[in-house]
């Protein structure tokens, strides 16, 4: 390896350590790019690296730091950017240690039926573990939408390609072949509130999210909301719910903080999209920010989403009234307001997603 290649490979390694996806192929691209530029000009090297090694706007500040450190006279080895060891927030709320699972009473049908309707916030650790095991088994199916692919059918639009094929085989244009669209699972976007007031329900909600992601990985997107919007779909793809939840707890920076639903929703609608999706917001609607902002953002969401469903843990009680500021602002823009406090409530929600 020549000196330039060695230098750039080292630089790419530094970037990878800082969390930039500067893999081997990208490093090769950088070397190809440098062949067209002046390597002695640090600005040109800067841009060549930035254009070939970065992949998202989030990479750019890291890239700038690494570039300054690596080419700024000294070759600092950058430690992984401070993702200070995240304490296991999940464990803080309800510690479902391994010991509990062993001591769980045998599951009988009537016991499960009772458990099914109880508020997860009021369960013992062993009972909650059992509910979580059943959540992991949830396979509700998914409503479908028309896809752009076709299959041949007896009725439907004209299948031009097959008609021509037939005509060629028989030597005359005899009958017309038909085709129709196939269907695909409809996208679900799930926004999970992980702020302080939702803490007793956060783990159960995330386990529900895990089951959704596992059953339709390509058509489910999950984000945590609180004070920071965090995409957590990738973390939830792990087969094992425990591992997935560990990954999620590391990814979410704002466990049990406050709630700025309006601002978060605005960020969601700016950065991501709910177009055509069944959008589920799981929150108690305790908005610390301006309820009016939440109202306008809910209106925007309702315009782009296929359906908007709000899951509120407190909805499960008969005397529940949507009185919190956030809930009142959101209410006019919802298709459904459903409960989210018990296994039965989640089963119903899952059913709703299958037939929305």
Partner 1 sequence: MDIESPAKLIELLDRHAYLADEGLATAAFLALRMGRPLFLEGEAGVGKTELAKTLAALLRAPLIRLQCYEGLDAAQALYDWDFARQLLHLKAAEAAGITDADRLEGEIYDRRFLIARPLLKAIETQPSVLLVDEIDRADDEFEAFLLEVLSDFTISIPELGTIRAATPPVVVVTSNRTREVHDALKRRCLYHWLEHPGFDREVAILRRRLPGCTETLATQVAGTAARLRQAGLVKPPGVAETLDWTEALLTLGAKELDPDLAAATLGAALKYREDVTAVIGNGLLSHG
User: Applying CB under 8 A, which residues contact partner 1?
Assistant: 21, 23, 25-26, 29, 32-33, 36-38, 43-44, 47-48, 50-52, 54-57, 60, 148-149, 160-161, 163-164, 167-169, 171-173, 218, 266, 271-273, 275-276, 296, 300
**Could you tell me the smallest distance in angstroms from the CB atom of residue 11 to partner 1?**
17
Rounded CA separation 312/315 (Å): 5
**Could you tell me the smallest distance in angstroms from the CB atom of residue 289 to partner 1?**
12
Give the position of tokens 């996208």.
187
Rounded CA separation 83/86 (Å): 7
| Maximum Cα interatomic distance, the chain, rounded to a whole number of Å | 78
Give the position of tokens 């009988």.
108
Rounded CA separation 122/311 (Å): 18
Indicate the residue among 77 and 147 with the shorter CB distance to partner 1: 147
Indicate the residue among 171 and 175 with the shorter CB distance to partner 1: 171
Tokens of 315: 């909805």
**Phi, psi angles (nearest 5°) of residue 281:** -110, 120
**Could you tell me the smallest distance in angstroms from the CB atom of residue 309 to partner 1?**
21
Rounded CA separation 237/3 (Å): 41
- What's the start-to-end Cα distance of the chain, in Å? 58
**Could you tell me the smallest distance in angstroms from the CB atom of residue 130 to partner 1?**
37
Indicate the residue among 4 and 104 with the shorter CB distance to partner 1: 4
**Could you tell me the smallest distance in angstroms from the CB atom of residue 269 to partner 1?**
8
Strands 307-312 and 278-282: parallel
**Could you tell me the smallest distance in angstroms from the CB atom of residue 182 to partner 1?**
12
Indicate the residue among 45 and 339 with the shorter CB distance to partner 1: 45
Indicate the residue among 2 and 172 with the shorter CB distance to partner 1: 172
Strand order across the 230-231 sheet = 230-231, 220-225, 188-193, 278-282, 307-312, 336-339
**Could you tell me the smallest distance in angstroms from the CB atom of residue 228 to partner 1?**
17
List 308's β-bridge partners, or say none. 279
Strand order across the 157-158 sheet = 144-153, 178-185, 157-158
Indicate the residue among 54 and 206 with the shorter CB distance to partner 1: 54
Indicate the residue among 77 and 170 with the shorter CB distance to partner 1: 170
Long-range contacts (CB closer than 8 Å, 24 or more residues apart) made by 151-159? 151/179, 151/180, 151/182, 152/177, 152/178, 152/179, 153/178, 153/179, 153/180, 154/178, 155/180, 156/180, 156/181
Indicate the residue among 39 and 173 with the shorter CB distance to partner 1: 173
**Could you tell me the smallest distance in angstroms from the CB atom of residue 215 to partner 1?**
18
């Amino acid at each position: 390896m020549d000196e330039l290649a060695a230098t750039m490979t080292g630089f790419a390694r530094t970037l990878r350590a800082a969390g930039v996806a500067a893999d081997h192929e990208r490093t090769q691209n950088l070397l190809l790019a440098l062949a067209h530029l002046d390597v002695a000009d640090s600005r040109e090297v800067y841009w060549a690296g930035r254009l070939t090694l970065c992949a998202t706007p989030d990479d750019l500040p890291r890239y700038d730091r690494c570039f300054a450190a690596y080419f700024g006279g000294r070759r600092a080895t950058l430690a992984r950017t401070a993702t200070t060891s995240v304490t296991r927030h999940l464990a803080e709320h309800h510690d479902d240690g391994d010991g509990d699972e062993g001591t769980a009473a045998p599951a009988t049908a009537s016991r499960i039926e009772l458990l099914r309707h109880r508020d997860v916030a009021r369960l013992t650790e062993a009972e909650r573990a059992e509910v979580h095991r059943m959540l992991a088994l949830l396979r509700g199916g998914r409503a479908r939408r028309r896809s752009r692919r076709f299959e041949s059918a007896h009725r439907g639009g004209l299948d031009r390609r097959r008609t021509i094929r037939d005509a060629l085989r028989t030597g005359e244009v005899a009958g017309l072949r038909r085709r129709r669209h196939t269907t695909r699972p409809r996208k679900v976007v799930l926004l999970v509130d992980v702020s302080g007031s939702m803490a007793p329900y956060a783990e159960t909600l995330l386990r529900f999210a895990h089951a959704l992601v596992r059953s339709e990985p390509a058509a489910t997107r999950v984000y945590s909301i609180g004070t920071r919007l965090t995409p957590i779909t990738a973390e939830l793809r792990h087969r094992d719910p425990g591992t997935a939840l560990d990954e999620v707890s590391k990814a979410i920076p704002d466990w049990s903080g406050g709630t700025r639903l309006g601002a978060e929703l605005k960020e969601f609608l700016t950065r991501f999209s709910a177009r055509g999706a069944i959008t589920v917001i799981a929150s108690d609607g305790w908005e610390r920010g301006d309820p009016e902002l939440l109202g306008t953002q809910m209106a925007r969401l309702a315009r782009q989403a296929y359906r908007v469903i709000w899951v509120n843990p407190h909805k499960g009680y008969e005397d529940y009234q949507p009185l919190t500021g956030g809930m009142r602002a959101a209410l006019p823009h919802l298709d459904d307001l459903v409960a989210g406090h018990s296994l039965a409530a989640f089963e119903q929600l899952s059913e709703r997603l299958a037939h929305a």
